[in-house]
Amino acid sequence: MRKQATEEEEKVADLTPMLDVVFIMLIFFIVTATFIKETGIEINRPDTETAQLKKTVSLLVAIGPDSNVWIDKKKVDIRNVRPMMERLHVENPKGGLVIQADSESKVEKVLAVMDSARAIGISQIAIASEDK
């Protein structure tokens, strides 16, 4: 009887090391994943033929059709755009700025956002568009 019991005990696999590996891999993927940043408003971007993909974007600013400015899913007054961008730019100083301006937004708002970005030292500024 004892012989059968020891044989059955030897056949049982210990799953603890495998679960440890799975949890370590899960933590690795969560930590290294890049998350998509959103501005908080739906934008109708203008169509262009020369659109290019930007890889290092640390800051997204949206300008709606009513010329309201949105940063990090929050509506921001134009006077507070510079301090908000400065705070977010500190997190990733190598990244650039992408302005998602609606096709019906005013050019003055876009220029004000661009001036604020240049004032805090952001040199990579792009305007988002749709590929034709």
Percent of the chain residues past pLDDT 90, beyond the cut: 6
Give the global pTM: 0.60
How far apart CA 73 and CA 17 sit, in angstroms, is: 42
Residues of the chain with pLDDT under 70: 1-10, 34-58, 131-132
Burial of 17 (0-12, 13-18, 19+ CB in 10 A): exposed
Task: Report which DSSP code applies to 14.
Answer: P
